[in-house]
Amino acid sequence: MKLITAVIRPSRLEEVRKALEELGVHGLTVTEVRGHGRQKGHTEVFRGKEYVVDLLPKIRLEIALPEEKVDQAVEGIEKASKTGDVGDGKIFVVPIEECVRIRTGERGEEAL
Amino acid sequence: MKLITAVIRPSRLEEVRKALEELGVHGLTVTEVRGHGRQKGHTEVFRGKEYVVDLLPKIRLEIALPEEKVDQAVEGIEKASKTGDVGDGKIFVVPIEECVRIRTGERGEEAL
Amino acid sequence: MKLITAVIRPSRLEEVRKALEELGVHGLTVTEVRGHGRQKGHTEVFRGKEYVVDLLPKIRLEIALPEEKVDQAVEGIEKASKTGDVGDGKIFVVPIEECVRIRTGERGEEAL
Amino acid sequence: MWRSPFRRILGFSFVLTASWATAASAQDAASEISSSDTAWMLASAALVLFMTPGLALFYGGLVRSKNVLSTMMHSFGAMAVIPIVWFLWGYTLAFGGDVWSVIGNLDHLFMRGVSWEEPAEGLAISQLLFATYQGMFAIITPALIAGAFAERMKFSAYMLFIVLWSTLVYSPVCHWVWGGGWLGGLEVHDFAGGTVVHISSGIAALAAAIVIGKRQGYPKSPMMPHNLPWCALGAGILWFGWFGFNGGSALGSNGIAVLAFTTTNLAAATAASTWVLVEWFFRGRPTMVGLATGAVAGLVGITPAAGFVTPGGAIVIGAVTSAVCYWFVSKKESFGYDDSLDAFGVHGVGGTVGAILTGVLCAQTLGLSGFADGEVSRGTLVGLQVLGAAATIIYSFVVSLILLKIIDAVIGLKVDPDTEVAGLDVNIHGESGYSI
Amino acid sequence: MWRSPFRRILGFSFVLTASWATAASAQDAASEISSSDTAWMLASAALVLFMTPGLALFYGGLVRSKNVLSTMMHSFGAMAVIPIVWFLWGYTLAFGGDVWSVIGNLDHLFMRGVSWEEPAEGLAISQLLFATYQGMFAIITPALIAGAFAERMKFSAYMLFIVLWSTLVYSPVCHWVWGGGWLGGLEVHDFAGGTVVHISSGIAALAAAIVIGKRQGYPKSPMMPHNLPWCALGAGILWFGWFGFNGGSALGSNGIAVLAFTTTNLAAATAASTWVLVEWFFRGRPTMVGLATGAVAGLVGITPAAGFVTPGGAIVIGAVTSAVCYWFVSKKESFGYDDSLDAFGVHGVGGTVGAILTGVLCAQTLGLSGFADGEVSRGTLVGLQVLGAAATIIYSFVVSLILLKIIDAVIGLKVDPDTEVAGLDVNIHGESGYSI
Amino acid sequence: MWRSPFRRILGFSFVLTASWATAASAQDAASEISSSDTAWMLASAALVLFMTPGLALFYGGLVRSKNVLSTMMHSFGAMAVIPIVWFLWGYTLAFGGDVWSVIGNLDHLFMRGVSWEEPAEGLAISQLLFATYQGMFAIITPALIAGAFAERMKFSAYMLFIVLWSTLVYSPVCHWVWGGGWLGGLEVHDFAGGTVVHISSGIAALAAAIVIGKRQGYPKSPMMPHNLPWCALGAGILWFGWFGFNGGSALGSNGIAVLAFTTTNLAAATAASTWVLVEWFFRGRPTMVGLATGAVAGLVGITPAAGFVTPGGAIVIGAVTSAVCYWFVSKKESFGYDDSLDAFGVHGVGGTVGAILTGVLCAQTLGLSGFADGEVSRGTLVGLQVLGAAATIIYSFVVSLILLKIIDAVIGLKVDPDTEVAGLDVNIHGESGYSI
Ligand SMILES: Nc1ncnc2c1ncn2[C@@H]1O[C@H](COP(=O)(O)OP(=O)(O)O)[C@@H](O)[C@H]1O
Ligand SMILES: Nc1ncnc2c1ncn2[C@@H]1O[C@H](COP(=O)(O)OP(=O)(O)O)[C@@H](O)[C@H]1O
Ligand SMILES: Nc1ncnc2c1ncn2[C@@H]1O[C@H](COP(=O)(O)OP(=O)(O)O)[C@@H](O)[C@H]1O
């Protein structure tokens, strides 16, 4: 089991969700985050002075998956969230040792 | 050392915290997230039209723990957050390679 | 590749970011979270009654890094976020198996 | 026929003392409509209407974010439905020709015969303006009750309840005091609705809190207010609107209006200060909720007294009402019911304290009380106030209880537990207060 | 010279019937300035100004949080620029000496000759007060249009548009109806701006929605309102301010003001109730947005009628306008344009319904319609209303369309797609609505 | 005895020119109370009170969310305590019998002898209404100062400070200008408080910013406003309430009130437009904060002039005040103090600009200035304004500085650094502005 963590543009969330649905991946957890990378921030103005805001709104997705679906899912997310401009975001894959579905107590891949 | 990530119902947060306290687990980090899985969303109405909202409010807990407490903690969370209805959430366990307590510079299990 | 997850005081965010910039680490993702540990909460008053609020505002940073920069980065974060008072927070290091830059499709360390 | 508090005083003052008569522009028996009284009463009516959105914010800020809309809908729901009730039958039950001193007759059903050209009896504003102004009071009164059952009452049950309550409690009590009924006849003093508005609604709130039961987790889990700037703005709007509520209850642009305006402001300020000082002393922190709640308590306390007491008296009323409400509210857990937003603790308790203090402090020497100095004893005055409060308490409690029990039996008062957990906004109203 | 609706009625009533003349404090031909009329009109002018921040909240709460400021800037931008336009040339185009029944002449350029000492013709308030009060209407009208193109219009294009639109649409239409122009001459009834304000802006909104095109993702992706308490408070402020809008349109503190005040309140309440009931029935949930939208629809509907109908008539207008707007708004997707916040659906549709119902329901027997009973047929009355509405619809649509096309060609109306995705606040205004 | 600006003009106009006298309903020497003047002044008093919650939002939206309540408590704290101060001794110090042209005597301690039946001298409103209306000015003035030390001042120190400041600065300066003191005697013009309210508070703000020192991280770390819709709504409420502030300063429902109302609206609009244009030009973005700040600057600038200048003059005042304040505020970092929310930059600077422009632009020909054309030179007029501003600047700065130093020595002005980091709301008030 793997945990995919993807940081994407807020405007691509729906596309990504659709792509995942198509792959049969239904479960995911979404967090509103702010990110910084190569993407330039914007400046904000406050009473005649400018301030650089370089933490930009992003969406962070967490998706737990069985091993075999990971590649597909990563690709799906990639395609759906790519605009080609700086700031598209990142995908990280991390191993999961155990997974539990709280409702049923199921463990492991069934619990996903 | 392991990192438990649990996605639970907001209304169960206090119960879960109590359960963890009883196990002697005090440290945790809480994030407000929204999740989707088997649980049906609800519909919202806006000027005569209905929209399905299928990202529901959840609470995400992160708890770093020494190996030996993991099973107990998982069970504790399970019990405290279970309602038996769809949408109870998930628990994931991931390995931690290093942990630091910033205040003291302690590393490893002492730092938890 | 590793993923550093650091939970710090909100007031130290700018210092930490500066420290990381100096180490040549530019990419990071920030989440507003609330945390509990040894730090005492505060009490809030509502119409003559007191309530303990023991989930305190923290900032959670995620930074994906190549192996070799991890130690430096951890130290940098430590220094920049330390005040010496209880509540300074924690740093966790977790292994990453794969990393993708969505914009270019690059994988692995280049994608960081 | 209806009788305004103003006219009542005037009636008396003609016999007993004319010392302050010149201030009253409404006094000419001829009673033509005064354009200037009309100007102030139009402004006052608008101000009183604005109090209800203010109440929506005041209450809405104090609940958890998942219930903000359902709580605001209590106030806005009253704005939507009570004007219709008032137009159809509420006004005539309150101010139609007196029937046995307890209720108005049906002369003005559908506001029939309420003229925008003819002055209201003994006043210099038209009958329609009087009716419209009074209608604004009818709106906010049931909305005040909603503080007691916020975060758990069905919207359908609430709407049904306020229609019935407005008809069976508000209109009758209004008639008793202002419409020619028995309390007014006994010279019970209620300048702007301490009894009619605050006691009646505050006691109904108690009944409702008892019947509907507690919120899940109360009082163990803290239920912190989700947005205190809302609450503060709401209190600010209430304070602002209350000038129309109390100042307008002089029913003209005259000296009594000025006095009521002044006492209102002073009582609000003193009560806000008192609450903050008391909690600063006992809890170590001066809070925004405390300041806002104190101000509202003071405004409640001065309501029955506004045109009857001196500014000095207003300060006493503000301080005492606020202190008593603080004490009461901070003890409420031990009483075992869950009055979510202290509708009873502030309006019921504060209204009763204000009503009694009106008797204690009304200025006989100045002729404000309607009695010349020495004509009736202070004890009699206070006694009458206690009587008025007690009658309203008993009547409102009993009728509210019966209404709530019936509604509970027929359609149920409380949302189901899952809805309560998820929040009423999403489940009942199909909306979230906040999105990205 | 300009003619107020009020004076127009009066003109008639002098000839035909004097039955209600006593209620009108403004009637003395002598026409001295009345201090009490002044008091109410000052308060009314303040109330109407306050509607525009209310509109900012009403609209601002309905958009996504990334566009809250840009949406509010539409209202505040109108507050910043329209008073200057009105002072410089807007007033004289609307109320300067009549030219061919279609526009005012330039007599009052820069408000020259608008005296604060001399009464406006036929009224008991000064010329300057009349001009200032009317200026408040000029502010809110273009701001209403902004609901149609919220979340995608360039601020520069918007500001240019409202200056031109106010000059080329608002001032002329205002002149036609109230300033001595042809519609007023034909006795088309528009008490407080159903045609002048709501139809003109609502139709411009339709033109704008068509020209500027849809928001990205509309109608597929849901675009939920980000802060409904804002929206509710905005509706509350609008309701409050509307008392000055309609009540003040009597242009004095008199019986017509009282009547208009009362009908305004009843129509708002009925319309709010109606919308909620209809959606409860069709969608199973009574919503806050629905209640707020319904109230606004009812206020729009009653605007042309406020001083011409009975309270009972107001209830009919509230209910019908609300139901029609609900139906329209819930169907709008199928019409293929993106009127983001239903500026056309509420103001255009509601204004037209209200204008026509004014003809149907205006009270001839009471002399309110300006005609004695039987003097003109109901059909004629309605026909005139349809004519007034149609003329305004055609004129506003055509001129708005041309203006928008020109601005689009010259500087562009729509922000670039990236800005639209990121939100207008950050990219155009360099600000975020909310931070930590 | 006190003298209103209005009466002062009147005094002159009687001798010199009676051309506009008919507009003044208050003029009859007989001086009976006018019900219509009362109506407008009651409405105005309510409007001015409402400005303080508006200020709470305006300031509260500009700070970081951890300090929203502590910032709002500055405004609400003034509402809670100043009415009591004013009642007890503030009013008599300002408007009691003159002592050496510098202070009022103690005749009206506890408002003794302030009648709600007797007219205030030379006016047609009662003494009590005058006192109550003036009391609303006393509330907002110290609250304005709070913008300078937001996010770091102890609440206890603040409350102590405003009680002392109101007593030792506000009441005396008010007496100098309006209460029969030396500045009024010299015919310094201050229609509605440019000097009394804005210069005095703006300068105190400067003193406070200097004494209390900077916020941690200022000016390096950006401290962005946390909620701009609050700020915009606050500005909207201020604009609305300012009609009572300036329009009411005519102290009656008359032509001067209409003029002041009109100039107020025009100056606010022009100033808002100016600020936005300037920053659009220099920074490339038109901001909501800029529009709101500009509007407030314009309102400050027109305050001393509102009843003395023509509408055209108001446009000049709005534009100039706004541009100067923009320039000043955008440069403030280089001055080395931390005036968090620009209380000095807007009220101090804007008030001074407005006071001087009042001399430059007051309309002698119309008799508005109190002098017939040619009677005194423009230079003398301007010189008097500079004198009035200078005297107030010096007095307010010195006394404020001393008060702040003493309070700092005794209980400390600034919160400890940890509290500042964590936010004042949680640590001082035991509350969070926002929860879930
Ligand atoms: N090393 C990193 N660790 C964690 N998050 C990162 C890292 N680098 C980038 N991110 C996240 O990805 C987002 C996009 O990255 P950025 O470098 O701006 O664009 P791109 O991925 O297109 O090169 C950032 O806003 C941040 O949230
Ligand atoms: N594969 C997954 N990856 C990440 N989070 C998940 C996943 N599946 C479910 N979740 C989280 O768990 C929550 C509950 O899941 P759901 O399927 O609705 O109920 P249940 O766990 O009772 O079957 C979701 O809202 C989501 O936040
Ligand atoms: N075991 C843990 N797992 C996850 N987060 C933790 C853990 N312990 C502490 N934290 C996070 O670190 C923050 C600081 O911890 P705390 O114990 O209060 O102070 P310190 O680290 O200085 O001892 C907490 O608020 C919480 O967010």
Residue E33, domain CATH: 1.10.3430.10
- Please report residues of D whose CB lies closer than 8 A to that of C46: 222, 224-225, 287, 289
Ligand nearest to the CA of C105: 1
Residue to test with chain C: of A4, A69, A90, A93, most C Cβ within 10 A: A90
Q: Tell me what the pLDDT averaged over chain F comes to.
A: 92
Q: How does pLDDT run across F119-155, given as a tens digit for each residue?
A: 999 999 999 999 999 999 999 999 999 999 999 999 9
Residue A82: C-alpha distances to residues A75, C99, D428, F368 (Å): 10, 15, 39, 68
Buried b / exposed e over D279-291, threshold 16 CB at 10 Å, is bbeebebbbbbbb
CA A55 to ligand 3 center in whole angstroms: 24
Q: What is the mean pLDDT of residues F82-110?
A: 97
Domain-located, residue F263: yes
Amino acid at E100: W
Q: What is the pLDDT of residue E13?
A: 32
How close A51 gets to chain F, by Cα (Å)? 6
Ligand nearest to the CA of A64: 2
Q: What is the mean pLDDT of residues F163-182?
A: 98
Amino acid at C71: D
Q: What is the mean pLDDT of residues F173-178?
A: 98
Q: What is the mean pLDDT of residues F165-173?
A: 98
pLDDT band (50, 70, 90) for residue F29: very low
Atom of ligand 2 nearest to the CA of A104: 22
**CB of D221 less than 8 A from some CB of B:** yes
Residues E393, B10: Cα–Cα separation, whole Å: 52
Pocket test for ligand 3, best of C4, C7, C38 (most atoms within 8 A of CB): C7
What's the structural domain count of chain E?
1
Q: Residue D31 in 3-state DSSP?
A: coil
Q: Do D160 and D75 touch, CB atoms closer than 8 A?
A: no
In the predicted model, residues of chain A with pLDDT beneath 70 are none
Residues F223, D324: Cα–Cα separation, whole Å: 41
Q: How does pLDDT run across F317-372, given as a tens digit for each residue?
A: 999 999 999 999 999 888 999 999 999 999 999 999 999 999 999 998 777 888 87
Q: How does pLDDT run across F226-281, given as a tens digit for each residue?
A: 999 999 999 999 999 999 999 999 999 999 999 999 999 999 999 999 999 999 99
pLDDT band (50, 70, 90) for residue F391: very high
Domain-located, residue D20: no
Mean pLDDT in consecutive groups of 10 residues from the start of chain E, 436 residues: 38 30 39 94 98 98 98 98 98 97 97 95 96 98 98 98 98 98 97 98 98 95 95 98 98 98 98 98 96 98 98 98 97 92 98 98 85 86 97 98 98 97 96 94
Taking an 8 Å cut-off on Cβ atoms, the answer to whether F431 and C53 are in contact is: no
Q: How does pLDDT run across D93-143, given as a tens digit for each residue?
A: 999 999 999 999 999 999 999 999 999 999 999 999 999 999 999 999 999
Instruction: Please tell me which chains touch A, using 3 or more CB pairs under 8 Å as the contact test.
Output: B, C, E, F
Q: Residue of the nearest CA to atom 2 in ligand 3? A: B27
Q: What is the pLDDT of residue E373?
A: 77
- Please report residues of D whose CB lies closer than 8 A to that of E266: 83-84, 87
Domain-located, residue E5: no
Complex confidence, ipTM: 0.95
Taking an 8 Å cut-off on Cβ atoms, the answer to whether D46 and E252 are in contact is: no
Q: Which residues does A contribute to its contact with C (CB < 8 Å)?
A: 2, 5-8, 31-38, 55, 58, 60, 74, 77-78, 81-95
Ligand nearest to the CA of B63: 3
Q: What is the pLDDT of residue E18?
A: 29
**CB of A41 less than 8 A from some CB of F:** no
Bridging pattern class, strands A28-36 and C28-36: antiparallel
Domain-located, residue F1: no
Q: Do B57 and A61 touch, CB atoms closer than 8 A?
A: no
Q: What is the mean pLDDT of residues B82-93?
A: 96
Q: What is the pLDDT of residue F132?
A: 98
DSSP category for residue F120: P
List A32's β-bridge partners, or say none.
A59
Taking an 8 Å cut-off on Cβ atoms, the answer to whether E435 and F224 are in contact is: yes
Supply A13's token pair: 């969330």
Q: Do F233 and F7 touch, CB atoms closer than 8 A?
A: no
Buried b / exposed e over F43-54, threshold 16 CB at 10 Å, is bbbbbbbbbbbb
Q: What is the pLDDT of residue A93?
A: 97
Segment D376-382 long-range contacts (CB within 8 Å, at least 24 positions apart):
D381/D189, D382/D356
Q: Residue of the nearest CA to atom 14 in ligand 1? A: A89
Q: How does pLDDT run across F409-426, given as a tens digit for each residue?
A: 999 999 999 999 999 999
Domain-located, residue E17: no
Domain with D104 in it: 28-429
Q: What is the pLDDT of residue F16?
A: 29
Question: Quick one: which H or E segment has residue C99?
Answer: strand C98-101
Q: What is the mean pLDDT of residues D224-252?
A: 98
- Please report residues of D whose CB lies closer than 8 A to that of E232: 53, 56, 69, 72, 76
Q: What is the pLDDT of residue D240?
A: 98
Domain-located, residue D9: no
Q: What is the mean pLDDT of residues D331-356?
A: 96
Residues E111, E105: Cα–Cα separation, whole Å: 12
Domain-located, residue F436: no
Domain-located, residue F370: yes
pLDDT over threshold 60, residue F75 = yes
Residues F331, A83: Cα–Cα separation, whole Å: 41
Whether the upstream peptide bond of residue D219 has omega within 30° of 0, thus cis, is yes
Residue partners of A110: CB distance under 8 A and separation at least 6: A101
% of residues, chain F, pLDDT over 70: 93
Amino acid at C37: G
Q: What is the pLDDT of residue E27?
A: 42
Of the candidates E319, E315, E193, the one whose C-alpha atom is nearest the C-alpha of residue E266 is E315
Between D134 and F10, where is the model more confident? D134
Other CB atoms within 10 A of residue B13 CB:
17
pLDDT over threshold 50, residue D390 = yes
